[in-house]
Chains A and B, each alone.
Chain A
Amino acid sequence: TTRSWDFIGLQESATRNAQAESDIIIGVLDTGIWPESESFNDKGFGPPPSKWKGVCEGGLNFTCNNKIIGARYYGGSRPNSTQSARDGDDGHGSHTASIAAGNRVNNVSFFGLAQGTARGGVPSARIATYRVCQPDGCNDEDILAAFDDAIADGVDIISISLGEAEATDFFEDTIAIGAFHAMQKGIVTSHSAGNQGPSYGSTASVAPWLISVAASRTDRLFIDKVVLGDGRTLVGKSINSFASPATRFPLLHGKEVSSQCSENNSMYCNEGCLDKKLVKGKYVLCKSNSGDFEAFAAGALGAIVRNEPYIDFSDVVALPAVLLSAKEHDLVLSYVNSTKNPQASILKSETIKDAEAPTIASFSSRGPNFVTPDIIKPDLSAPGVEILAAYSPLDTISFTFDDPRRVHYTLLSGTSMACPHVSAAAAYVKTFHPDWSPSAIKSALMTTALPMSDAKSLGGEFAYGSGQINPVAAVRPGLVYEALKEDYIIMLCNIGYDAKKLQVLSGDTNTTCPKLPVTASPKDLNYPSMAAEVFPAKPFNVTFHRTVTNVGLATSSYKAKIVTNSKVNIKVEPEVLTFKSLNEKKSFLVSVSGSGLPVKSRLSASLVWSDGTYSVRSPIVLHTQS
């Protein structure tokens, strides 16, 4: 990417542990990879690390190198599938892999836009590609097979940017299952939270042993301008890489360039409505936000479309096209209706600095977690909007247009793009702390995350979790909240799994469910954030038990500070934690009491432990459902 790593503070000049980074293997479960991309060439890479136990079985027309050290594909026997790990049908896998671990590649842009040095978060790391998606989708059985292989192959991090539409039971959720066994082997799994936002409870990534990632915006905002014949300039959205024209062109309303549709269908530029002869050499004004697809198909010169329902990101367009807000679209409509020969010119997109960033994209799936409401999901956020990264030179550069341009780098948005940022950030932390457990790495990323603004991101903590990752700070978190297999087993006991099943899950016949108080809940898991669902309109008194491990200064004293705007009483006991050695553990209680919350509401606060050097922040959320 050419901006996102700088934006979250992982500059090219950041301190790196080069040898350790070269030994990191990121397993990417996706649509495969384009091995010839410059982002994946192996110049300067030595042979795979000795711990690597995987293979290069990438199938047809696929060769590994010392950067892409492993390749497998699944589902190749299905009709219309490909027996290859080559990302030849989609480009998504090349994009996500390069965000995580792509090489530094100078002077990359999308037809001049977003120009810079493209790089992954850990450019020296190795990639193992597991192609689990074929043109007909990504099947559970293939995803599970890839987890089975990746764990055994010896990857350090699993990055998986795909998911279900809604949350399911942990053991009917293949990503949760795979991530559980990955966690047992010390492997971090980073998972996209989903693109079903901003609906309440829309995230399907709910297991506490994986990292669920929301998509945030960087400060690079794409805008596009249209200049009307009367000289007015309106600003909209799109990634329009076509050169600004020297002259203006006729601008016609969709209903004026249709010969076979109703007025209503043609004003929206619905499919099949635009007449090829009438649109030639003209811009078309469409009331639908997807009118540009029809304008492109009909051979129009360009399109002005309406941002309704509202989206807050820009997509690549295959012709000069701009998405205008309803208000501005109405201005253009008024101009077209009141002018004899309306004209316009649609300029090439440009990027400006977005002072509001970071904010969470509207599409990013939100909590609460419908399986365990006492665990906040998503866990944290990372850049996932308009990310420039490697792409396969396919027949089309867009998922929706039949755009004939071939590119090696393109811009995509989604929690798919946010997820590999966290994969790389976890890898970066691991290069400094190779013996840390997945939960310690996750804790480091969560407690050092940049707080985000509730007012700017609908859903607050249910949108951004603990905030936006800060990989450099995560290397030195001070304290970590660690949870191991046994802790997750107790949490599963809490939510009703019987000990016999949990023995099978853990592979340990000594696994038992402790006698738990009736108040026991997943909120007691030693998680880096704290949440509890309470009954609406009833007084509440909730206690969180937590234990932190000292990974900062051997001798240190941390003071608790509560940050909140809510009318709530929060007590921390003890308020001071004194450590005398590294890896020493200290426990504390956080009690939250109040007089009652309305239905479907959320109360937020933060607990910050600080010793003057390190700052360890955990969000606290109490919420009600209907």
Chain B
Amino acid sequence: GASTEEKKVHIVYMGSLPKGQYSPLSRHRSMLRQTVQLDSSVETSYIRSYSRSFNGFVAKLTDSEKQRLSNMEGVISVFPRKTLQLQ
């Protein structure tokens, strides 16, 4: 199953921060909990959140986890981390 797939670092982009009561970090972890196969994997998958100016997080995901997250409400895009170059 998914647990044998290779996990790669992905960015989960969720647009602007919702107005009102909203805790980005707990929301991101909760989304990840619903996505990864085992609860214990959340800790090893989660890398960091973006929560000061916009909404999103970084996690190690398999292709199927990426797919599940992409279909979740509030997610704009899930894409693998790339390395950019100085110009």
Separation of A98 and B47 alpha carbons in the complex (Å): 33
- B52 CB to closest chain A CB (Å) equals 4
Q: Which of A167-175, A465-473, A532-540 makes up part of the contact surface?
A: A167-175
Separation of A31 and B81 alpha carbons in the complex (Å): 19
Task: Say whether, besides A140-B81, A171-B76, A172-B79, A161 and B86 are in contact (CB < 8 Å).
Answer: yes
Query: A504 — which chain B residues lie within 8 A by C-beta?
Result: 14-16, 74-76
Separation of A139 and B17 alpha carbons in the complex (Å): 23
Write the chain B residue with the least CB distance to A213.
B87
Separation of A165 and B82 alpha carbons in the complex (Å): 10
Q: Find out whether the CB atom of B86 lies under 8 angstroms from the CB atom of A506.
A: no
Query: B13 — which chain A residues lie within 8 A by C-beta?
Result: 171, 177
B40 on the interface (CB 8 Å rule)? no
Q: Find out whether the CB atom of A416 lies under 8 angstroms from the CB atom of B86.
A: yes
A584 on the interface (CB 8 Å rule)? no
**Size bracket of the B interface:** 20 to 34
User: What per-residue 1/0 map shows which CB atoms of B62-87 lie under 8 Å from chain A?
Assistant: 00000000000011110101111111
Write the chain B residue with the least CB distance to A172.
B79
Task: Say whether, besides A137-B83, A141-B48, A505-B15, A148 and B54 are in contact (CB < 8 Å).
Answer: yes
Q: Find out whether the CB atom of B76 lies under 8 angstroms from the CB atom of A501.
A: yes
Q: Find out whether the CB atom of A147 lies under 8 angstroms from the CB atom of B85.
A: no
Other-chain contact of A195, B9, B83, B87 (Cβ < 8 Å): B87
Query: B50 — which chain A residues lie within 8 A by C-beta?
Result: 144-145, 148
A136 on the interface (CB 8 Å rule)? yes
Write the chain A residue with the least CB distance to B52.
A152
Write the chain B residue with the least CB distance to A501.
B76
Separation of A185 and B52 alpha carbons in the complex (Å): 12
B42 on the interface (CB 8 Å rule)? no
Separation of A504 and B74 alpha carbons in the complex (Å): 6
Q: Find out whether the CB atom of A506 lies under 8 angstroms from the CB atom of B58.
A: no
Query: A161 — which chain B residues lie within 8 A by C-beta?
Result: 86-87
A605 on the interface (CB 8 Å rule)? no
* B15, B18, B53 pick with most chain A CB within 10 angstroms: B53
Q: Find out whether the CB atom of B86 lies under 8 angstroms from the CB atom of A31.
A: yes
- A188 CB to closest chain B CB (Å) equals 15
Task: Say whether, besides A504-B15, A504-B74, A162 and B85 are in contact (CB < 8 Å).
Answer: yes
Query: A30 — which chain B residues lie within 8 A by C-beta?
Result: 86
Write the chain B residue with the least CB distance to A165.
B85
From 19 to 78 in chain B, residues with beta carbon under 8 angstroms from any chain A beta carbon are 19, 47-48, 50-54, 56, 58, 74-77
Task: Say whether, besides A177-B13, A501-B76, A504-B14, A148 and B53 are in contact (CB < 8 Å).
Answer: yes
Q: Find out whether the CB atom of A148 lies under 8 angstroms from the CB atom of B15.
A: no
Query: B56 — which chain A residues lie within 8 A by C-beta?
Result: 144
Q: Find out whether the CB atom of A507 lies under 8 angstroms from the CB atom of B15.
A: yes
Residue numbers of B with Cβ under 8 A of A are 9, 11, 13-19, 47-48, 50-54, 56, 58, 74-77, 79, 81-87
What are 17 A-B contacts with C-beta separation under 8 Å?
A90-B86, A137-B84, A137-B85, A138-B85, A139-B82, A140-B82, A140-B84, A141-B58, A148-B53, A162-B86, A164-B84, A164-B85, A172-B77, A172-B79, A504-B15, A507-B15, A507-B17
